[in-house]
Amino acid sequence: MGRLLLALTAVAVLVVVFLALIALTDGAGSGIAAWLSTLGVGAALAMWRGRRRGRPKRLVPFLPVVVAAALTASVCVPTVPTTRQHPPALPFVTTQHWSLSTGSRVAVYHYPPASQGPRHPVPLVYLNGGPVRGISVLDHRFLQLLAGRGYDVYAYEQAGGGRSDLLPMDQYTISRPVGDLAAFIDRMDKGKVDVLGFSSGGTVLTRALADPSVAARLHRAIIAEPGPMDGPTAHITGHKGRKSARDLAPPPTGPRSTHAPRYAVAFGLMRLGLLSPDTGLIGQAEGDNAFTAADLGSDTASAYCARDAHRIPVEDTAQNFSFSPAASLRVQQTVKDSPSIAAHLRQSRTPTMLMIAECSSQVRQWATAILANAPAIQRTQYMPGVGHRMWNGLDDNDDRAAAAISAFLQDKPAPLPHYPTREEIPTFLRDQE
């Protein structure tokens, strides 16, 4: 028993050495550099331990080295394609590909206004959340609903997400999607547009409002459930909305990349900041191919109210789901590293609406910081009964979100009270709504 425990300890130590070397070498050569170094260290120690033993017994110390080498080798071997495998075409909308002046090549979806009924004269552009993620089927259904209400709806997957082409890792910054938005509007060539930005798309839209050259292209803006707008905001800690379904909903089903040692190590060390987004362990394309909806864990549940914990809809199909973990982490880091945009945001004059969910999983100050510093926000809609994912196909949630959006874009009375106002921010935060 003592010898067995000693052997297991040796295996564990070698695995820890391997993981440390993965971090130190940033996964160089798909982890082979760390693997060979670990194997060399283990072999040297085994030779030292067996130096005074007879020939057969000299091999015994090598057994833990062999076991450790077999275990860690699985981290160095890809189990998915290493070139990007884009999702197949959607059956209900044509995927176009536009090359933008910024160098991005993005997947574009167009939902023309319904042939019956009045049409809104200004096109509506949708910026999805992510940061680098495909547009979900749930989002597509909501965009179809808006088109059915007379809106000429355009949506595109930001560079690196969904069916859009990848970028070099160092080009994933928060400023890139802002520039892409301006280039996309120019490519549309339809004059000023309305823009709806959700989650990290709301962050992009907020920063676009703070850039006069981009804001000049916007007719009206709707910021829904935004992420942090800059570094100072990103470092704010505070409460979130009412209780979400996190830790209440059944665990997500389906395959997980993190059940494979290679991707569990890669994504885990990336999340801990021990591997860079452009690590040599796995390439960007391989990471995108490997990551699944189930890997998001409780993140999906946190986008719904606690009362909906046992009826959370399927947001996307396995074939359409696309998320780039490395690129997303890099974009988030550039937000954290960015200086304050508050002074620039105060100069914005684009009519804007802010949408906040009752059971939001976002830190409340992310939204209230925008409200406090954007005098052009004309109304705030506090959406009761929904979480971060405000349009989710449950009950009449899609219709209520569409009604709030339509009322603002058409400059009609809001269906909900204008709450919180700028003056009500302290009360709103104090009451932890």
Domain ranges, ordered by start, for the chain: 2-73, 96-253+303-430
426 CB-contact burial (10 Å; exposed 0-12 / middle 13-18 / buried 19+): exposed
Question: What's the one-letter identity of residue 352?
Answer: T
User: Which DSSP letter does residue 150 get?
Assistant: T
Tokens of 71: 């275990």
pLDDT the model gives residue 352: 98
Spatial CA neighbour of 333 closest among 294, 275, 263, 286? 275
Superfamily of 96-253+303-430 according to CATH: Alpha/Beta hydrolase fold, catalytic domain (3.40.50.1820)
What is the Cα–Cα distance from 35 to 68, expressed in whole angstroms?
Answer: 10
- Give this prediction's pTM: 0.93
- State CA 1 to chain mean position distance: 48
CB 358 within 8 A of CB 305: yes
Tens-digit pLDDT profile for residues 386-427: 999 999 999 999 999 999 999 999 999 999 999 999 999 999
CA angle (301, 303, 306) in 5-degree steps = 65
What is the Cα–Cα distance from 213 to 208, expressed in whole angstroms?
Answer: 8
Q: Which residues of the chain have pLDDT under 70?
A: 50-60
Tokens of 168: 């070099």
pLDDT the model gives residue 8: 84
pLDDT the model gives residue 156: 98
> Strand locations in 159-240, DSSP E?
193-198, 218-224
pLDDT the model gives residue 367: 97
Question: What's the one-letter identity of residue 194?
Answer: D
Strand order in the sheet with 218-224: 96-99, 105-111, 153-157, 124-127, 193-198, 218-224, 352-359, 377-387
pLDDT the model gives residue 253: 84
